[in-house]
Structure 1
Amino acid sequence: MATIKEDVIEIIDDLFMEDISDMMDEDLFDAGVLDSMGTVELVIELENKFDIKIPVSDMGRDDWNTGDKIVAGVEALKHA
């Protein structure tokens, strides 16, 4: 069974053809992995995969801009 971290890495790789496993603390917007449309796609995939609802208020660029922050956000919502 995959961990949340492994699943997040796989989702980002599937959506954006980018393996972020070695850049989990790097800003994904600055790295060119995420943009506003990509963020929408990512939210939809995360909500479907983990059966969570990500509030729009939680989606500030600085809140979910690294792999580590995305994983932490998903974990927090899964255990809320």
Structure 2
Amino acid sequence: MKEQIQDLLAQATGRDASDFSDTTADLYADGLLDSMATVQFLLSLQDEFDIQVPVSEFDRSAWSSVDKIEDRVKELQND
């Protein structure tokens, strides 16, 4: 799942997937993810993992690293 998330991040940001290899790095603080790419990324996540991510309830701090994203996706798949 981590590799899928890294690939989706790469597609949304136009970066290389290796830029997301540190799965604990804060994607926002490190400038790897911005608000425009976040929207595209969330839409891709929803399609890839068949989940719903309510944008109105989106808390950036809960989605700020690859590890945190993976945790959230797993939670949403179990809902």
User: TM exceeds 0.5?
Assistant: yes
How far does residue 26 in structure 1 lie from its aligned partner after superposition?
0.9
In structure 2, the partner of 1:40 is 39
In structure 1, the partner of 2:51 is 52
How far does residue 15 in structure 1 lie from its aligned partner after superposition?
2.3
Distance in 2 (alpha carbons) for counterparts of 1:61 and 1:14: 19
* Contact 2:27 2:64 survives alignment (8 Å): yes
Residue identity over aligned pairs, in percent, reads 33
Distance in 1 (alpha carbons) for counterparts of 2:34 and 2:59: 12
TM-score (ref. length: structure 1): 0.84
- Note the aligned Cα RMSD (angstroms): 1.1
Matched, 1:14 2:11: yes
1:11-53 deviations in Å (ceiling 9; x for gaps): 11222213212x1111101111111111101100000111110
TM-score (ref. length: structure 2): 0.85
- Contiguous gaps of at least 5 residues in structure 2: none
- Contiguous gaps of at least 5 residues in structure 1: none
